Amino acid sequence: MEMETLKSTFLYQYWQSNNRILFQGRLMIGPKTDILANLFVWGLVLVLPIPFYLSTWDKTWDISPAIPFLTIFLQLATIIFLLLTSTTEPGIIPKKQLQLIAGTNFYLEQFQDSRFCETCEIYKPLRASHCSDCNNCVLVFDHHCPFVNNCIGKRNYRYFFSFLISIFAFGLAVIISALLCLSTVSDYEDQKTLVILFLVPVIIASLVVLIFFLFHVFLRITGKTTREKLKQISKTGDEDFDWLNLNESLFSLRLLI
């Protein structure tokens, strides 16, 4: 009976962090503390465009059918990259207990250019850092983003950067569509008011996203992470060593133990 219980035990059941593990270890997302910020972003992407489409679709369609279709395409791209950013494991280094259960001890022994994390009780590469929000050490840690409900690290940074591009492009498409629509509805004051009321928050949100996007463009040019730039930390570590593949061979929440 005891042997049968052990055979049905998965590695995710021993996971120690603030992350939420869903579908028996098939999906990991960020902590509960991010829920409001994450719902705010989903509201911007999914809910806010609905009254816009209802009030402008006919007018933008008359101008050119490509306009509403392009806007919807950019919205879908934003949704896809937001999902990928939120649900992709960012490069978490498993804690000591999990490594011992999984039968590995690579991060438990000191290696070149490593530091010790007292919380996780492991050694980590120099560009890795401990995230207090998720309570994990993350490879090439950039920052924790409550709006996407995940850490941004080695594995999902490209999705996060693509999300910034897509959501800014989506916002820009909405702004252009709204302005084109306003130029054709001079006789419809109620519709014009609705478009303007929708346009103001979109412009503000797009400007905020643009600032973040330009900042990350600068980071990519300089080859630094957000953490390294804000804390004035030199970019150090073994760039030739394939930490990503090493950690992928170690990390499997569905591992049966």
| Closest listed residue to residue 91, CA positions, set 6, 159, 7 | 159
Alpha-carbon distance values, 74 to 67, 71, 82, 172, 174 (Å):
11, 5, 12, 10, 10
237 and 125 in contact (C-beta within 8 Å)? yes
Alpha-carbon distance values, 219 to 26, 89, 133, 215, 225 (Å):
32, 21, 23, 6, 6
**Backbone phi, then psi, for 206, in 5-degree steps?**
-65, -40
State the DSSP code for 46: I
3-state percent helix, strand, coil for the chain, nearest multiple of 5: 55, 10, 30
Q: Catalytic residue, from 131, 137, 145, 181: name it.
A: 145
Residue pointed to by tokens 């979109």 = 202
Distance between first and last Cα of the chain: 15
Tokens of 99: 């490594």
Q: Is 145 a catalytic residue?
A: yes
**Residues labelled as active-site residues:** 145
